[in-house]
């Protein structure tokens, strides 16, 4: 139940996409700000946004996956560490600079009642809770499936020993000694490798969930807007945003070693999420009011949860896991390159906040 299969994750997120618009509709009790409305021009920008974001997201998420074809992009190569550090910086900046401030702005809006929204930092609380929840999912899922793997391996080992015991005494002693040596090597390495692979799969699925949540909200907000001045800068910002985020997610998917079908499903779903959100926004333009209390609360809480997930994933599962690995610890040049790449990714994504 904790470790979603890609198909289960797809079904859950499809339901989320369908239900979100009905949740965020509401009557406005706060006067919206005056803005230049030009519906035909705004529609053109929205169509451009759908195309550019879809292409950028697809290229970004597929780029790390090319390691199956190009040896230099494989997870064990130095270039992969550099790219992943850059993408982790992008995701970290997305959580701190883009998503969390938006959540705080929504939950402290003058359109909401002062009590309780103005008296307590709900955005920080929800982000912290989401980060802790992500930690628990990470720990419990990895622990559960590691134990299951060890139990299965132990049963197979006992079965092998019983089969070996059916041979003659001399053959049994010789074979058992060899088997014991071989089994000792496997038991020390295989569970660790299996546990690491499982953790990468949990990481990739939880990371995609966190990215998708705020991508849907961004898409709906853009699709529902009728102001070209608001939409135009967002097109470029979200295009780069989707490309860099896709690189981070693609790196995790690559390390998780999913089957080709699962990889295709996760990559496709990431690529279409924001464009689908824009399409939903287009469909509910006349009923959706981003300044209504219900919309502000729902968007603020979901953005806060997304920020907590992204910040945790970037710091713990992406950066700490790689920067504390023996490969990076024993290579000073690679350390320096990864640090520069991290700062570059975080800096460039932070700079996009000027246009967003």
Question: Contacts for 175-184 with beta carbons within 8 Å, 24 or more apart?
Answer: 183/157
CA pair distance 215, 49, nearest whole angstrom: 13
Can you state the angle between helices 169-224 and 122-165, rounded to 10 degrees? 160
Domain ranges of the chain: 40-79+101-149+192-308
- 164 burial (CB, 10 Å; 0-12 / 13-18 / 19+) is middle
70 vs 165, higher pLDDT: 70
Q: What is the pLDDT of residue 74?
A: 76
Q: What's this model's pTM, rounded to 2 decimal places? A: 0.72
Higher pLDDT, 333 or 141: 333
Mean of pLDDT values over 326-344: 92
Q: How confident is the model at residue 182 (pLDDT cuts 50, 70, 90)?
A: very low
Tell me how crowded residue 51 is: count the other CB atoms within 10 A of its CB: 13
Torsion of the alpha carbons at 54, 55, 61 and 62, rounded to the nearest 10 = 140
């Amino acid at each position: 139940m904790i470790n979603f299969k890609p198909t289960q994750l797809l079904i859950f997120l499809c339901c989320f996409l369908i239900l979100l618009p009905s949740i965020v509709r509401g009557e406005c009790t706060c006067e919206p700000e005056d803005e230049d409305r030009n519906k035909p021009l705004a529609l053109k920008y929205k169509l451009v946004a759908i195309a550019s974001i879809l292409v950028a997201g697809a290229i970004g998420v597929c780029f790390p996956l090319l390691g199956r074809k190009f040896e230099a992009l494989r997870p064990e190569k130095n270039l992969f560490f550099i790219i992943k550090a850059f993408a982790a910086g992008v995701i970290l900046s997305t959580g701190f600079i883009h998503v969390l401030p938006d959540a705080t702005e929504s939950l402290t809006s003058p359109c909401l009642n002062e009590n309780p929204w103005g008296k307590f930092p709900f955005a920080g609380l929800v982000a912290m809770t989401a980060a802790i929840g992500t930690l628990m999912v990470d720990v419990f899922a990895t622990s559960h499936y590691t134990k299951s793997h060890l139990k299965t391996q132990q049963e197979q080992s006992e079965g092998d020993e019983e089969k070996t015991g059916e041979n003659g005494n001399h053959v049994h002693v010789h074979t058992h000694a060899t088997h014991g040596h071989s089994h000792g090597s496997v038991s020390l390495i295989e569970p660790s490798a299996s546990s690491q692979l499982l953790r990468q799969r949990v990481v990739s699925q939880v990371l995609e969930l966190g990215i998708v949540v705020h991508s849907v909200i961004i898409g709906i907000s853009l699709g529902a807007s009728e102001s070209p001045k608001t939409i135009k800068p967002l097109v470029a910002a979200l295009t780069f945003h989707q490309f860099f985020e896709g690189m981070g997610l693609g790196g995790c998917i690559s390390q998780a070693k999913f089957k080709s079908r699962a990889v295709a499903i996760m990559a496709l779903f990431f690529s279409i999420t924001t464009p689908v959100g824009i399409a939903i926004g287009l469909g509910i333009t006349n009923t959706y009011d981003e300044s209504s209390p219900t919309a502000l609360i729902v968007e603020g809480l979901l953005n806060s949860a997304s920020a907590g997930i992204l910040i945790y994933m970037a710091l713990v599962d992406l950066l700490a896991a790689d920067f504390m690995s023996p490969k990076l610890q024993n290579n000073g040049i690679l350390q320096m390159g990864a640090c520069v790449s991290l700062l570059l990714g975080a800096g460039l994504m932070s700079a996009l906040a000027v246009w967003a």
